[in-house]
Amino acid sequence: MSEKELGKKWDRCLADCAVKVGAGLGLGVVFSVVFFKRHTWPISFGLGTGLGMAYSNCQNDLRSHYLLHRSMKVGWTKQQ
């Protein structure tokens, strides 16, 4: 079902976001704890990195259909 694809994408996106954010947070925490003397900026950095990554992934995933891969061609449909 094509209509379920978006939902799946969103699910993936969210899952990925959660993972990335969590990972970033974790890393940030870790970094902050480990490397940066409990500053919060690695946590937020990690969080931000995580979010950003997730956002980018999500966007890529959502766009993936419209991107021309080298091995395939996408048929353009002209409007009007």
Using CB under 8 A, list all residues that contact other proteins.
1-3, 5-7, 55, 58-59, 62-63, 65-66, 76-77, 79-80
Question: Minimal distance in Å, beta carbon 57 to other proteins?
Answer: 10
Spatial distance between the Cα atoms of 62 and 66, rounded to a whole number of angstroms: 9
Nearer to other proteins, 35 or 66 (CB): 66
Nearer to other proteins, 5 or 11 (CB): 5
- Rounded to whole angstroms, the Cα distance separating 80 from 70 reads 28
Residue among 37 and 63 whose Cβ is closer to other proteins? 63
Residue 45 CB-half CA count within 13 A: 12
Q: Report in angstroms how near the CB of residue 20 gets to other proteins at its nearest.
A: 14
Task: Give how far Cα 74 sits from Cα of 8, 33, 51, 71, 77, Å.
Answer: 22, 48, 30, 10, 9
